[in-house]
């Protein structure tokens, strides 16, 4: 039978439940177990696809096209397993399912209630997601005490009865704050958080205590006494220089041993964390630094481009350099001088986005990079604006634009996908999930991947207008497979991808295009310093 680790959070949000869940997955996988992660989000949205990046951060897309919470990105990066639509549950998804069943008459006229109908639907999804796994790690979003999270907490409470208490571990992530005025850590918030859990019938096995200062033995014993857990089950998790040190820190505290013991699984062997130690060392102690300008539309929100930022760091780890990312609001390039604003950059990355706001600034950044041989990497909308810039300034098409930039023009360079045109009155959908792509031999993209057939994840409804393909090719732009990738031969690195390669990047296995982009940026940095011949 599959076993479950349920991770809840208390006191405040943003404690790092997702990082903890991913780290637990890493440690259990290193012990030879088949594991996966699942995220529960208590919001009423069916998925994260329509949520504003300024409010919610990035949307993480899985191979099967699910638009999910950004924590699934943490899971994939930490556990190095491909997740699916099954790995994401929301209140909206649960209630939609139950209401459809009620409308079909599945409940035979019975009164439909939160208990048992909502909680049963939640449990069925958990059990289905755990099929063929040794352990499923489930993160419950939000904070204990939130009204919208109560049905999920009740569902996981019932899971101990349904699958057996010996097959369930409850891990509670909580805050032990340091009061500067008193010069001491305080345990009361943790006590109250655990009391709230116990009030609804969940007795946590393990407490992961987020803290900025060391906890002494006396404090751990106090928390253990008041929260009814063994002292060794009070796990200290201090702020780390990088999130990739969290699996190592939790292992040193014995978290994986405790979980395996409570689940009745073998915990004699030690996990090999040498690859993670190498990642941490290269992240913290690199000999060089490379400056990357991130020219985007949502740079004010730290999580809007989370996977892009992490993928850049993965490339830096691969080449043993620190990636210093400087966020540039694309609208600033519409009024300012790109040469002055971007003069610090060893490389420029233009990420995805929606709408016309700021796209002229992206075009200005692409023009600056093309004319000055600065490494440039465009993703989705970024790639599309690279094409528009090339069409305008190299092919001399004065009306070159995207359909969003000028909806009245019938033949834009970037236009609505054909299947989206048919859905215009319905609001359209998007091209979502993994699609294959054939690369052209001898190109930088093919060299970066080391193969000609690849698969990448998409999230867009606009694409390159193929009626312009021949004209742009004659002007020198190379395109791959219905223009999934564009690149400019002879340039240091001028590559744009219609897809989101950042979604498949890992700290121990960076995405090929991010790896190649950072390599080109490092070379450009050394040329500028005079360390290499141009």
Q: Which residues contact 439 (CB under 8 A, 6 or more apart)?
A: 445, 446, 449, 451, 452, 453, 454, 480, 481, 485
- Residue 529: helix, strand or coil by DSSP? coil
| Spatial separation of the C-alpha atoms in residues 491 and 375, rounded to whole Å | 8
When computed from its CA atoms, the radius of gyration of the chain, rounded to whole angstroms, is 25
SS3 string, 340-393, reads HHCCCCCEEEECCCCCCCCHHHHHHHHHHHHHHCCCEEEECHHHHHHHHHHHHH
Contacts of 523 (CB under 8 A, 6+ apart): 492, 532
Instruction: List all residues 6 or more positions away from 161 whose beta carbon is below 8 Å from its beta carbon.
Output: none
Active site residues: 380, 500, 502
Contact 262, 294 (CB under 8 A): no
Alpha helices in 237-356 (DSSP H): 246-252, 255-262, 274-284, 306-318, 332-335, 338-341
Residue 212 C-alpha from the chain's centroid: 25
Nearest CA among 97, 93, 119, 95 for reference residue 106: 97
For 194-221, give one letter per residue: b (16+ CB within 10 A) or e.
Answer: bebbeeeebebbbbbbbbeeebeeebbe
Token pair belonging to 329: 């609001």
Distance CA 534, CA 528 (A): 8
Under DSSP, is residue 508 helix (H, G, I), strand (E, B) or coil?
coil
How buried is 103 (Cβ within 10 angstroms: 0-12 exposed, 13-18 middle, 19+ buried)?
exposed
Cα 287–chain centre separation: 27
Contact (Cβ atoms closer than 8 angstroms) between residue 362 and residue 405: no
**What is the enclosing helix (H) or strand (E) of 56?**
helix 53-56
Residue 534: is it exposed, middle or buried by C-beta count within 10 angstroms (0-12/13-18/19+)? exposed
């Amino acid at each position: 039978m599959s076993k479950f680790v349920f991770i809840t959070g208390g006191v405040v949000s943003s404690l790092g439940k997702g990082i903890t869940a991913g780290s637990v997955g890493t440690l259990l996988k290193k012990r030879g177990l088949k594991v996966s992660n699942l995220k529960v989000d208590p919001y009423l949205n069916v998925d994260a696809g329509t949520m504003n990046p300024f409010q919610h951060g990035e949307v993480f897309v899985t191979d099967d096209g699910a638009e999910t919470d950004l924590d699934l990105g943490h899971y994939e990066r930490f556990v190095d397993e491909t997740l699916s639509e099954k790995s994401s549950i929301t209140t909206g998804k649960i209630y939609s399912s139950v209401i459809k069943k009620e409308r079909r008459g599945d409940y035979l006229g019975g009164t439909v209630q939160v208990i048992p109908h909502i909680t049963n639907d939640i449990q069925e999804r958990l059990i289905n997601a755990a099929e063929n796994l040794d352990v499923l790690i489930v993160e419950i979003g939000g904070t204990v005490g939130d009204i919208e999270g109560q049905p999920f907490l009740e569902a996981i409470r019932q899971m101990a009865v349904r699958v057996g208490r010996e097959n369930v571990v409850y891990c509670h992530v909580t805050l032990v704050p340091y009061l500067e005025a008193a010069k001491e850590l305080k345990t009361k918030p943790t006590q109250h958080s655990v009391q709230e859990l116990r009030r609804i019938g969940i007795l946590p096995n393990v407490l992961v205590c987020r803290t900025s200062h060391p906890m002494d033995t006396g404090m751990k014993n106090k928390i253990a006494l008041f929260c009814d857990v063994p002292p060794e089950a009070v796990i200290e998790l201090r702020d780390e220089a990088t999130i990739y040190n969290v699996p190592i820190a939790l292992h040193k505290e014995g978290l994986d041993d405790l979980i395996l013991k409570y689940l009745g699984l073998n915990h004699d062997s030690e996990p090999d964390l040498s690859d993670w130690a190498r990642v941490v060392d290269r992240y913290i102690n690199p000999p060089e630094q490379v400056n990357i300008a991130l020219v985007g539309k949502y740079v004010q929100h730290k999580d809007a481009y989370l996977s892009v930022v992490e993928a850049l760091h993965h490339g830096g780890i691969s080449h043993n350099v620190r990636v210093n990312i400087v966020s540039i609001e694309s609208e600033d390039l519409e009024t300012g001088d790109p040469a002055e604003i971007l003069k610090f950059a060893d490389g420029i990355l233009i990420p995805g986005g929606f709408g016309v706001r700021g796209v002229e600034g992206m075009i200005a950044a692409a023009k600056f990079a093309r004319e000055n041989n600065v490494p440039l990497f465009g993703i989705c909308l970024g790639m599309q604006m690279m094409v528009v810039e090339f069409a305008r300034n190299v092919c001399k098409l004065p009306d070159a634009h995207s359909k969003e930039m000028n909806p009245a023009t019938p033949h834009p360079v970037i236009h609505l996908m054909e299947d989206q045109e048919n859905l215009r009155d319905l609001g359209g959908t998007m091209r979502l999930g993994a699609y294959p792509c054939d690369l052209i031999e001898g190109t930088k993209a093919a060299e970066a991947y080391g193969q000609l057939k690849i698969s990448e994840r998409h999230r867009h409804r606009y694409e390159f207008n193929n009626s312009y393909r021949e004209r742009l090719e004659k002007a020198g732009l190379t395109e791959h497979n219905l223009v999934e990738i564009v690149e400019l031969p002879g340039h240091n690195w001028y590559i744009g991808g219609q897809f989101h390669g950042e979604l498949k990047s890992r700290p121990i296995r960076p995405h090929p295009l991010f790896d190649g982009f950072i390599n080109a940026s490092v070379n450009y940095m050394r040329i500028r310093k005079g360390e290499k011949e141009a």
